[in-house]
Chains A and B, each alone.
Chain A
Amino acid sequence: MWGEQLRMAWQSLRANTFRSLLTMLGIIIGSSTLVSVLSLGNALQGQVFERFIDLGTRRVAILPGDPDANGARVSSGYGLLSIKDFNALDKMVTTHPDIFRTIVPEVAIKVRARSGTVEVDSLVVGTGADYQKVQSVPLEAGRFFTLEEELDSDRVAVLGSLVTEDLFGKGVENRAKAVGQTIIINGQSIKILGVIKGAGGPFSSDQRILVPSGTARLRIAGNQDLPGRGLKMSSILLGLRTEGVVTKAEALITATLRDARNVPVGAIDDFKINSPTQALGILNGINSAITGFIAVVAGISLVVGGIGIMNIMLVAVTERTREIGVRKALGATDRDVLGQFVIEAATISLIGSFIGIGFAVALVLGIASAAGLGMILSIPAVIISLIFALGIGIGFGYYPAKRAALLLPIEALRYE
């Protein structure tokens, strides 16, 4: 019976090809929008995600507190991160190996670096040998400094690609030749161990000079340590085991730091905790909102398409009243007639959806190959749009079909 009804539906669509296509238009537009928007939205989300994993989603940064913040206490050096804070956190990291992987400081000092007669402005960042575990700093030449070199506060450095080029000239070869050379910073001769691959963007290390934190604190900055607190740190980075422990980690850090810094109960934190997951969440939220909005528009288009189908089915039922009468005279039950028209509506809707998905696939694959994104077609979106179209066909086809089913045989036959 199903096969028979599908055949009937197909015959009746073929009998009115142009009208059927017009009827499908809303579904075609809705389906193609849904599939292309969800596919492209997913791809975008994936890209954003990859970017952030690059920067390290399994990482929390602690930043100095804002002395102008609402509720900040008036005290000298408010919010600055000290060696004492670092040591407290270091202890916390060792006692919670299940949550934290590592801890490294970032001691930033603005300097002028010199090689021979060339001088450039740069930023020295004193950090740990584990820096590579919390920041994306792939080397293109040489190596990073070791734990030993860190503990000895050796005069060694790893240079960002732009700093290297400023000092030694442009090009891969010049950058590679920099390894092993010596530069002068604040009167100290510092040996270049490696060069970081250029990443671009404002947050990259391209303009930086990475040295062991002791080297930065003791040799480059000299005695700029704050009384009782040690040298201020621009940030402390903590590596996490997984993305899942971010909340736990934040709670531990807050407790540890408030204790170490003697923040009175009720006072606001005089430090900030930044986790890239927050930013990631916001970005993904925006992306989801846009994707969701367009998906809703596509959904509305599908519903409008459904109303178009309902309209044309009502016309069809009226046009074919006599046919319905004949079928009933020959023994069609109400259910047979209901099924015939519902299946016809669902067929229109599904074919429209297939056509729309075809357009979307062409569009998405076109964009993907143009942008070199690989396979980004969202199969769930295809399935969702087919199911949606089927539901709309059945939903909006039901009422006209019910009208057809309830026609009295004699009245349908007598209909002129």
Chain B
Amino acid sequence: MSTDVVAIHHVSKIFDGGDNRVVALDNVSLTIAKGEMVGIMGPSGSGKSTLMTIIGLLDVPTSGTYLLDGIETSGLDRTAQAGVRNQKLGFIFQNFNLLPRLTALQNVALPMVYARVGMGEREARAKAALEAVGLGNRLNNRPNELSGGQKQRVAIARALVNNPAILLADEPTGALDSRTGHEIMALFRQLNREQGITVVVVTHDAEVGKQMDRIVSLRDGQLNMDALHEYYGINTDALGRVVTEVPHVG
């Protein structure tokens, strides 16, 4: 299974806030192969974001094991985790999370600052990344001078700039109108096809979900494929691959 970028085994995440104990993830096991484009779907509160933060090393599971690109993550200290986030992971958030005081170019260059890339190379690569997402003419604008779709493109350029193994996007189109959302999803698909980047997308949008190679469905913190049809009307095979709807026999 050396091609698995993500290998999660029996992972649970429990938030223990005194009297209200929330089991956000309940014994979830899941693998994602290199180059896959995977959707994570499920009703609100089902644990999608929690699963993403664990895959993204932003949080640690309460129990279970997680191998990221072959690395056993429970053995990493905080500095090593930061290094892995910097080198192997690219995050895209629903609310973009660009730093407001920095220009598009500076925002995109930020991961390279933490990778100790020199100033000249940083600028060149950040510029190339922005050009790749179609923002070559917006290098020196600050986030408040950009549209939602442009902001998300800046965020994508920033996520890609250190050539990560996985792109993690939590509802990347949630704050965008549907046309812009489609453009963003097309960009993901293009990156996945052309550069072989593994993409994991959390989405509520059935249309978005149908474009995925495979869908992982969550309900109450557990893997549950039945929920997919129930909530989104999407049918999948046993492996979670989207199958075109079979017309009802009249």
Contacts and interface: CB of A to CB of B under 8 A. Distances in A.
A336 interface: yes
A112 interface: no
B78 A330 contact: no
A336 B86 CA distance: 13
Interface in A317-365: 322-323, 325-336
Contacts of B162: 331
B79 A330 contact: no
B113 A4 contact: yes
A331 B85 contact: yes
Interface string A3-23: 110000001100100000000
Given A15-B101, A409-B58, A413-B58, A330 B116 contact: no
Interface in B30-85: 53, 56, 58-59, 78-79, 82-83, 85
A184 interface: no
B14 interface: no
Given A408-B59, A410-B59, A413-B58, A331 B86 contact: yes
A272 to B, nearest CB: 74
A74 interface: no
B101 A336 contact: no
Nearest to B93: A413
Nearest to A1: B116
A24 B99 CA distance: 25
A330 B58 contact: no
Contacts of A408: 59
B141 interface: no
B85 A330 contact: yes
B22 interface: no
Contact of A329 (B58, B87, B115): B58
Nearest to A408: B59
B3 interface: no
Given A1-B113, A1-B116, A15-B101, A331 B87 contact: yes
B114 interface: yes
Nearest to B86: A331
A12 B78 CA distance: 26
A410 B110 contact: no
Interface in A69-114: none
Contacts of A325: 97
A3 B122 CA distance: 14
A74 B200 CA distance: 110
Contacts, number: 63
B82 A331 contact: yes
B97 A322 contact: yes
A326 B115 contact: no
A330 B59 contact: no
A345 B93 CA distance: 30
B111 A330 contact: yes
B116 A332 contact: no
B78 A334 contact: yes
B114 A336 contact: yes
A326 B114 contact: no
Contact of A331 (B93, B97, B102, B111): B111
Interface string B85-125: 11100010100010101100000001101111001000000
Nearest to A336: B114
Contacts of A329: 56, 58, 85, 91, 97
B127 interface: no
B91 A330 contact: yes
Interface in A293-307: none
Nearest to A412: B58
B151 interface: no
Contacts of A410: 53, 58-59
Q: Which 3 A-B pairs have the closest CB atoms?
A: A331-B86, A331-B114, A333-B82
Interface of A: 1, 3-4, 11-12, 15, 322-323, 325-336, 408-410, 413
Given A327-B114, A409-B58, 18 more contacts: A1-B113, A4-B113, A11-B102, A327-B99, A329-B56, A330-B91, A331-B85, A331-B111, A331-B162, A333-B83, A334-B82, A335-B79, A336-B114, A408-B59, A409-B59, A409-B85, A410-B59, A413-B58
14 contacts: A1-B116, A3-B119, A4-B113, A325-B97, A326-B97, A328-B85, A330-B110, A333-B82, A334-B79, A334-B82, A336-B82, A409-B85, A410-B53, A410-B59
